[in-house]
Structure formats: C-alpha cells, structure tokens
Amino acid sequence: MIIYTLVDDTKKNQVLLIFSLIFYSWGGPRYLILLLVDTWASWWFAIQITRHRKQAKHYLLGECVVLLGLLGIFKYTVFFCSNFHAWFGIPKVIPQIVLPIGISFYTFQLLSYVIDVYRKEVKAQPKFWKLLLYSSLFHQCIAGPIVRYETVANEIEHRQVSQSDIYEGIRRFCVGLAKKAILANGCASVADTLLPFQQSALQNQAITGLWLGMLFYMLQIYLDFSAYSDMAIGMGRMVGFHYLENFNYPYMAHSVQDFWRKWHISLSTFFRDYVYIPLGGSRCSKTKFIRNMTIVWFLTGMWHGASWNYILWGLYYLVFLLLERFVYGNRLRSIGAHIYTLFVVYIGWVIFRFENGSQLLTVLAGMIGMGSHAFTSMQVHTLFLENIFFLLFCILACTYIGKAIRHLLPVIGKSNAIIYTIYTWGELLLPPVLLILSVLALIGNSYNPFLYFQF
C-alpha cells in the first residue's frame, strides 16, 4: 500500500499487478503458470471473438474447453480416478494432484469475461497485462468474491480514491479480519472439538454435542467466508475498486430461495446468468424447468468440491427449492418460515462438512438419537458454559443488528450531542481496536483454518 500510494497514477496498475502476482506465488509459484495460461487463453479468445464474429461460437467453445478442461484436470482428476478405481479397479495408481489456490474463482471470472465479450456486453481488453490484473487482484483472487469484468472494467482504466473510500475500506477490512481471526476461528475450535473427523469419536459423541458442534460450524462457515469477502471488498475500496456485496445476512432469510439470494451472491448470479437462463430459466415447461434446476444445483455442488457429499448437498437444496416452487411456495410466513429455513440450512451444513459417508451417516443418525449416543456429557456441558456469551455474540454478528445501530446512531445524534459523540468516537476507534484484537488473536492462536481455500 505504501508503494502504491507513492507512485504516479500511471504506474499504479503495474504496481498492483506485480504485488498481486507475488502474493499469489506465495502459496505455490508453479501454479502462477496456470493463472498466466488461463488468463492468456481468455485474452486471446476474447480478441478473436471481437475480430471474427462469424466464428465467435467456435472461439467461445475453445475458451470453455481450455478453462473448464484445466479446472477439471486439477480439481476432479483424483475424484474420478478414485471412483473408477473403487468400481472397476482402474487405474492401479491414483495420481496425486494438488488443487491450485483460487482456481475455481479465477476460472469463473475469466469465463464470465469471455462470455460477456461474446454477448457484446463488454469490450475485449486489448492489453493482456490489464486482463491479468483483473484475474489476479490479490484482494479476491484466492477466496472470492467472483468479480465480473464489467464491474471493474472502468475502474481498471480510471479510478479515483477518496478519503471516504480509504476509511470505509480500512473499516471493512478490519471488520472482516476480526470476523475471521476472532469469531470464525473461535467457532472452528469448538466445532472441531465436538465434531472431529474420526469415526470412533463421532460414534461416542453425545447427541447434544453433535447439535452444538454443528451450530458452531454453521456460524463458522458464514463468519469465515463472509470475512474473506469483507476483507476483499475493503482492500479493493482502498485502491479504488468497488466490488459488489457477496453476502446479505443469509441467516435472516425466510425461505431457501431467499437464502440463496443472500448467500455467496456472486456464485449464485454466475450460475443464474451463464447456466440457468441460457438453458431456458423458468420460462419453459415444468419438465425443462426441473431439468434446468437439476443441472444448476448439480454444478453448484460440484463447484464446491470433488466429493459426493458436495453433489448431495447441491441436490439437497434442489429438493427444497422445487418444494417451495411447486408445493408450499407462498404458504411460508414470518417466524415459522425463518425457523424452517434455518433448519434446512443447518442440516445442509451437516452434509457439507463430512466428505466421508460413514461419518456423515453417523452424525445424522446420532442427531436423531439413533445408535448408542448419550444425550449429553460433561464435555458438552463445559464447552457450552465456557462459550455461551461467545456463541450469543456470534449469533448477533450474523444479524442486521450491528448495521442497524450504525445507521441509527447518526440519526439520533442529530438531536443528541452525547449520542453523536459516541458515534463519532466509535467510528474513529473501531478499526484500530479490531485490528489490534485480531492481531493478538492470530499471534496467540496457531489454529487458523481456511475453509474456502479448497475451492
């Protein structure tokens, strides 16, 4: 940031690109080559689409083959080989392929760019290095959100940073860092204590331990992933990029459909705009609509991971979305609808967490009292009492309360000097306080899981 601030405006993009590539290389220099290849291919195909409109479909197909092919090789080769080995005994040796960090995110970004060029919704970027800047921006390259080229196209060429942008960016980053370092990591510690990835431990866990562990995991995955988005949006704003929101308090949703309008918005809109609508969307027969939804939710599950549980997770949501559309739809109301939605999402996270089928069945069965699980235990009782206030705070962090208070205080402050002073000092002190607390939490705790880096 220091170098970026000091250099001339004409050099800021170059500085940002250099440090973005260095940042990405830190997690595995050899995979930088893959990012360069994907970006160059997308740049070339987009240029060819613009120059040769009659052959545009062929170049678009080439883009899809190259990018989705590379994604398939790195993300799904081990999955398919393992299944073929289990079913047919081939291949004899299963290749070990490490998943490059962020490959799903930048692959979808580049695909959306080329498709939008094909649709004439954006102009092809003539300079390769500027498209590379778009695909490698360190703010969001490795953990999202999925940023459309049209969102930042103008800001790559021309952007201004105001004092408000800098403050709001710093504040948003510090809030995201605190959500990750303090809240998400704290939830992860409890969840992994109660729900270790060991069959024997899960079989011996109490029923209340299974439910409490999954509650902490449910909070962890939202706080963890939304924290990445907060930090990306904040860092982007500090240098003049205005990314769209990726989460809108999804645990406040009143239907499963509403949940997916609020959860990982950039992924949901990608599948809507580039898969669902091109297939015909909802403007078709009932049979084709179900087909379209099945394809979208199968792909949604596959995108999240190369394991059967993710596919099951995607199809699980498909069932409830179809039920909402064709069975009980508008009958969902108010508090009951909210409870129903949270319960569906809660069980969905059970499916999402356990890639091992035996572990998944053990937990699901144990939660309804099947098996030899005790109702509760001293461990569960102790963990609950030790973390009850932390749990309540995490729940509140998933609601609109903080945002509502921030908007309400300046309004009340117009007629109350004390409230206005509290608001002013709060805005001034919140970022540094959160930053200090987050750094202390990271220094004092080596347990720092990164859930979404696997995607």
What six digits make up the tokens of 293?
């939804």
In terms of domains, do 133 and 40 share one?
yes
Per the CB < 8 A criterion, the answer to whether 29 and 117 are in contact is no
Would you say residue 329 has pLDDT above 90? no
Distance CA 351, CA 341 (A): 16
pLDDT at position 141, please? 81
* pLDDT band at residue 24 under the 50/70/90 scheme: confident
In terms of domains, do 380 and 436 share one?
yes
Last residue of a domain, one of 107, 138, 159: 159
In terms of domains, do 201 and 141 share one?
no
- Please write the tens of the pLDDT for every residue from 129-188: 999 999 999 888 877 799 999 999 999 988 888 899 999 999 999 999 999 999 999 999
Counted domains in the chain: 2
Identify whether 301 is part of a domain. no
Identify whether 184 is part of a domain. yes
* pLDDT band at residue 448 under the 50/70/90 scheme: low
Which among 139, 254, 264, 304 is annotated as catalytic?
304
Would you say residue 333 has pLDDT above 80? no
Would you say residue 341 has pLDDT above 70? yes
In terms of domains, do 126 and 26 share one?
yes
* pLDDT band at residue 373 under the 50/70/90 scheme: confident
Identify whether 455 is part of a domain. no
In terms of domains, do 90 and 187 share one?
no
pLDDT at position 27, please? 72
In terms of domains, do 135 and 149 share one?
yes
In terms of domains, do 250 and 350 share one?
yes
In terms of domains, do 83 and 147 share one?
yes
pLDDT at position 454, please? 57
Identify whether 3 is part of a domain. no
In terms of domains, do 106 and 49 share one?
yes
In terms of domains, do 119 and 205 share one?
no
Mean pLDDT, rounded, of the chain: 91
pTM, two decimals, is: 0.93
Identify whether 302 is part of a domain. no
In terms of domains, do 188 and 149 share one?
no
Q: Minimal CA–CA distance to 267: which of 326, 220, 317, 307? A: 317
Identify whether 324 is part of a domain. no
Distance CA 106, CA 131 (A): 11
Last residue of a domain, one of 159, 187, 212: 159
Distance CA 305, CA 301 (A): 7
In terms of domains, do 346 and 410 share one?
yes
Q: Minimal CA–CA distance to 188: which of 387, 438, 433? A: 387
pLDDT at position 85, please? 83
The answer to whether 381 is a known catalytic residue is no
Would you say residue 455 has pLDDT above 70? no
- For helices 207-238 and 378-397, the axis angle rounded to 10 degrees is 30
Would you say residue 447 has pLDDT above 90? no
Neighbours of 289 (CB within 10 A): 19
Range of the domain at 213: 164-254+332-444
Q: Residue 25 class from Cβ within 10 Å (0-12 exposed, 13-18 middle, 19+ buried)?
A: middle
